[in-house]
Structure 1
Amino acid sequence: MSKNTWRTKMVTAGEKPGIGFYFCVQCGHRVYLEIGTDRLPPCTKCLGTEFKNNNA
Protein backbone atom coordinates (compact mmCIF):
# COMPACT_ATOMS: atom_id res chain seq x y z
CA MET A 1 0.00 0.00 0.00
CA SER A 2 1.43 3.38 -0.94
CA LYS A 3 1.88 6.11 1.63
CA ASN A 4 -0.75 8.23 -0.18
CA THR A 5 -3.52 5.62 0.08
CA TRP A 6 -6.31 6.54 2.51
CA ARG A 7 -7.55 3.74 4.71
CA THR A 8 -11.21 4.13 5.58
CA LYS A 9 -12.86 2.44 8.53
CA MET A 10 -16.62 2.10 8.85
CA VAL A 11 -18.09 2.77 12.29
CA THR A 12 -21.63 2.75 13.67
CA ALA A 13 -23.36 5.19 16.01
CA GLY A 14 -23.04 4.01 19.60
CA GLU A 15 -19.46 2.77 19.18
CA LYS A 16 -16.44 4.36 20.90
CA PRO A 17 -14.18 4.74 17.86
CA GLY A 18 -11.74 7.27 19.37
CA ILE A 19 -10.77 10.88 18.71
CA GLY A 20 -11.21 12.24 15.21
CA PHE A 21 -13.54 13.19 12.40
CA TYR A 22 -16.32 10.88 11.23
CA PHE A 23 -18.35 11.44 8.06
CA CYS A 24 -21.97 10.30 7.74
CA VAL A 25 -22.34 7.80 4.90
CA GLN A 26 -25.89 8.99 4.19
CA CYS A 27 -25.38 12.78 3.94
CA GLY A 28 -21.64 13.45 4.38
CA HIS A 29 -22.07 15.56 7.54
CA ARG A 30 -18.91 15.68 9.67
CA VAL A 31 -18.90 14.78 13.36
CA TYR A 32 -15.84 15.33 15.58
CA LEU A 33 -15.13 13.41 18.78
CA GLU A 34 -12.75 15.21 21.17
CA ILE A 35 -12.52 12.53 23.84
CA GLY A 36 -11.50 8.97 23.01
CA THR A 37 -14.10 7.46 25.34
CA ASP A 38 -17.07 9.33 23.79
CA ARG A 39 -19.70 7.30 21.95
CA LEU A 40 -20.39 8.31 18.36
CA PRO A 41 -23.90 9.81 18.22
CA PRO A 42 -26.29 9.47 15.28
CA CYS A 43 -25.73 12.14 12.62
CA THR A 44 -27.04 15.48 13.85
CA LYS A 45 -28.19 16.39 10.33
CA CYS A 46 -29.98 13.27 9.04
CA LEU A 47 -29.89 10.83 12.00
CA GLY A 48 -27.79 8.36 9.97
CA THR A 49 -25.93 5.71 11.95
CA GLU A 50 -23.11 4.66 9.59
CA PHE A 51 -19.91 6.71 9.40
CA LYS A 52 -16.60 6.67 7.53
CA ASN A 53 -13.39 7.49 9.34
CA ASN A 54 -10.28 8.67 7.49
CA ASN A 55 -8.14 8.90 10.64
CA ALA A 56 -6.57 5.45 10.21
Structure 2
Amino acid sequence: MILIIIAIFLYMFGWMAYFYWKQYGDGKQNISTVLWVTGLIFFFLNLFYKVDINA
Protein backbone atom coordinates (compact mmCIF):
# COMPACT_ATOMS: atom_id res chain seq x y z
CA MET A 1 0.00 0.00 0.00
CA ILE A 2 2.83 2.40 0.87
CA LEU A 3 4.48 1.63 -2.51
CA ILE A 4 1.37 2.61 -4.46
CA ILE A 5 1.14 5.91 -2.57
CA ILE A 6 4.82 6.61 -3.36
CA ALA A 7 4.19 5.64 -6.98
CA ILE A 8 1.19 7.97 -7.36
CA PHE A 9 3.08 10.82 -5.67
CA LEU A 10 6.12 10.38 -7.93
CA TYR A 11 3.93 10.06 -11.03
CA MET A 12 1.92 13.21 -10.31
CA PHE A 13 5.00 15.19 -9.26
CA GLY A 14 6.76 14.04 -12.43
CA TRP A 15 3.90 15.30 -14.62
CA MET A 16 3.70 18.62 -12.76
CA ALA A 17 7.45 19.06 -13.15
CA TYR A 18 7.22 18.11 -16.84
CA PHE A 19 4.52 20.68 -17.61
CA TYR A 20 6.27 23.34 -15.49
CA TRP A 21 9.62 22.87 -17.24
CA LYS A 22 7.92 22.56 -20.63
CA GLN A 23 6.20 25.91 -20.05
CA TYR A 24 9.30 27.71 -18.74
CA GLY A 25 11.76 25.96 -21.07
CA ASP A 26 14.34 25.06 -18.44
CA GLY A 27 15.47 21.93 -20.30
CA LYS A 28 15.08 19.64 -17.27
CA GLN A 29 12.40 17.29 -18.66
CA ASN A 30 14.70 14.32 -18.06
CA ILE A 31 14.33 14.72 -14.27
CA SER A 32 10.52 14.57 -14.45
CA THR A 33 10.74 11.62 -16.85
CA VAL A 34 12.91 9.75 -14.33
CA LEU A 35 10.39 10.60 -11.58
CA TRP A 36 7.28 9.36 -13.36
CA VAL A 37 9.01 6.31 -14.81
CA THR A 38 10.11 5.47 -11.24
CA GLY A 39 6.48 5.94 -10.17
CA LEU A 40 5.32 3.54 -12.87
CA ILE A 41 7.93 0.96 -11.83
CA PHE A 42 6.79 1.22 -8.20
CA PHE A 43 3.17 0.87 -9.35
CA PHE A 44 3.81 -2.29 -11.37
CA LEU A 45 6.07 -3.76 -8.68
CA ASN A 46 3.22 -3.25 -6.22
CA LEU A 47 0.77 -4.96 -8.62
CA PHE A 48 3.06 -7.97 -9.14
CA TYR A 49 3.76 -8.15 -5.41
CA LYS A 50 0.01 -8.25 -4.69
CA VAL A 51 -0.48 -10.90 -7.37
CA ASP A 52 2.32 -13.02 -5.86
CA ILE A 53 0.83 -12.70 -2.36
CA ASN A 54 -2.64 -13.70 -3.58
CA ALA A 55 -1.27 -16.64 -5.58
- TM-score of the superposed pair, with normalisation by structure 1: 0.23
Larger Rg: 2
- TM-score of the superposed pair, with normalisation by structure 2: 0.23
Q: Which structure has more strand as a fraction of its residues?
A: 1
Q: Which structure has more helix as a fraction of its residues?
A: 2
